[in-house]
């Protein structure tokens, strides 16, 4: 499988993506509050579609997001890590907060009814497919693997493949967040 590293492309006023990615959604966070694609504090966001107990790509992407958030915070850049669940049967308002907090105290987990989640999946071109049921962890899903860097309004800036190391991912994110000059 070939991965195109679009994340390394310089920021530009025109989207470097061949499709329109991103858009509005309204989901519930782990505190039962409605959140949209826009960060309420205007912070940039790292957004991933996954699930809190995923043992596969999520176990690489979510810790990477946490490390990038901490690296940027050391430079005074606040970024919110956000995960939209692909497993609403497993990630519910009262069950996803604790596992995400173990990864990073600021992690926001979003869930909702299937139709509300589908709006987000469609906006970000994420396909979700149940693969099989693990006796210990429940359903295992195939889902998108990119980390989306969004501005405070929820507009996509770039995609970060979770195969990047923290130094590379932080450098790319920083180049989109801080003005060059």
Of the chain, the percentage scoring pLDDT greater than 70 comes to 80
pLDDT band at 36 (very low <50, low <70, confident <90, very high): very high
**In sequence order, which residues have a C-beta less than 8 Å from that of residue 72 and are 6 or more positions away?**
78, 79, 170, 173, 174, 177
Structure tokens at 82: 């956000």
Name which of 122, 124, 112, 150 is nearest 26 in CA terms: 112
Q: Taking a C-beta distance cutoff of 8 angstroms, is the pair 88, 117 a contact?
A: yes
Strand order in the sheet with 147-150: 34-36, 26-29, 108-111, 79-85, 44-50, 147-150, 156-160
pLDDT of 94 > 60? The answer is yes
pTM of the model: 0.84
């Amino acid at each position: 499988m070939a991965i195109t590293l679009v994340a390394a492309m310089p920021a530009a006023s025109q989207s470097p993506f061949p499709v329109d990615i991103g858009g509005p959604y309204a989901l519930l966070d782990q505190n039962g509050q409605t959140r949209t694609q826009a960060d309420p504090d205007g912070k940039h966001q790292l957004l991933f579609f996954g699930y809190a107990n995923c043992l596969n790509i999520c176990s690489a992407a979510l810790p990477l997001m946490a490390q990038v958030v901490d690296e940027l915070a050391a430079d005074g850049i606040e970024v919110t890590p956000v995960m939209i669940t692909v497993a609403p049967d497993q990630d519910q308002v009262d069950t996803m907060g604790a596992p995400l907090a173990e990864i990073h105290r600021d992690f926001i987990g979003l869930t909702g009814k299937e139709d509300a989640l589908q709006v987000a999946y469609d906006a970000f071109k994420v396909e979700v497919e149940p693969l099989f049921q693990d006796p210990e962890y429940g359903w295992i899903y195939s889902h998108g693997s990119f980390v989306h860097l969004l501005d405070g309004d929820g507009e996509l800036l770039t995609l970060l493949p979770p195969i990047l190391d923290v130094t590379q991912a932080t450098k790319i994110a920083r180049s989109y967040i801080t003005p060059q000059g």
